[in-house]
Amino acid sequence: MKWTLSQLQKYRSKDFPVDETVNMEEIIKIDPTIRRVSPIRVTGRADIDSSKVTFHLKIKGYLVLPCSRTLVDVNFPIDVETTETFLLKGLDYELEEEVHQVKGEVIDLLPVIQEILLLEVPMQVFCEDYTGTDGAPQSGKDWEVIHEQEKQDKIDPRLAGLAKLLDQNDPSSQ
């Protein structure tokens, strides 16, 4: 996903399609919570003029992350649309969007895609309908993981006597 400026200038005022599948395994070294990265598909187009190149991209794939509750692998889908602008000359643009300065004669989209993927990693991810035995234990001596619905239905045995006392003193129950 590298192009020289002379390659891109050939497509000035023409359609420049982007459709590549890239391997982004190196982000595992940056963020150790990412266990695996699928091949990432990058599609879109580029608008090229004399002072800037604007990429309109759609990034799709998935990351394998640990479940925050059980530590089992969870496939976290990535589906991002982004617009990235590269300035070809050192001009001061007052744009509302973030722009990238071209260093040298090459535009490299891989660091930008890497940054986007790292920003997509959530603080917590939970697996759905986990019933396996691998991963973190769900109970132990004097403790167990309970879900919110179970907690609402369960009455604390220490307060059961208090509920009976309140029922006796409540005039509306008579």
Question: Over the stretch 8-39, which tens digit does the pLDDT of each residue have?
Answer: 888 887 888 999 999 999 999 999 899 999 99
Q: Are residues 116 and 87 in the same domain?
A: yes
Given this model, what pLDDT does residue 70 score? 81
pTM for the whole thing?
0.70
Instruction: Specify the higher pLDDT residue, 172 or 26.
Output: 26
Integer Cα distance of 55 and 146 in angstroms:
47
Q: CA 165, 169, 172, 174: dihedral to nearest 10 degrees? A: 90
Show the tokens assigned to 137.
Answer: 């234990």
Q: Are residues 57 and 108 in the same domain?
A: yes
pLDDT in tens, 93-103: 555 567 877 87
Domain extent, residue 16, equals 2-120
Dihedral angle sign, alpha carbons of residues 121, 122, 126, 132:
positive
pLDDT in tens, 119-135: 999 988 888 765 555 65
Q: Are residues 111 and 145 in the same domain?
A: no
Q: Are residues 77 and 148 in the same domain?
A: no
Integer Cα distance of 25 and 122 in angstroms:
18
Per-residue H/E/C for 115-136: HHHHHHCCCCCCCCCCCCCCCC
User: Domain tally for the chain?
Assistant: 2
Given this model, what pLDDT does residue 50 score? 80
Given this model, what pLDDT does residue 10 score? 83
Q: Are residues 87 and 116 in the same domain?
A: yes
Among 86, 82, 85, CA closest to 117: 82
Instruction: Specify the higher pLDDT residue, 137 or 40.
Output: 40
Integer Cα distance of 17 and 57 in angstroms:
10
Q: Are residues 96 and 159 in the same domain?
A: no
Given this model, what pLDDT does residue 134 score? 61
Show the tokens assigned to 106.
Answer: 């090459």
Q: Specify if 129 maps to a domain.
A: no
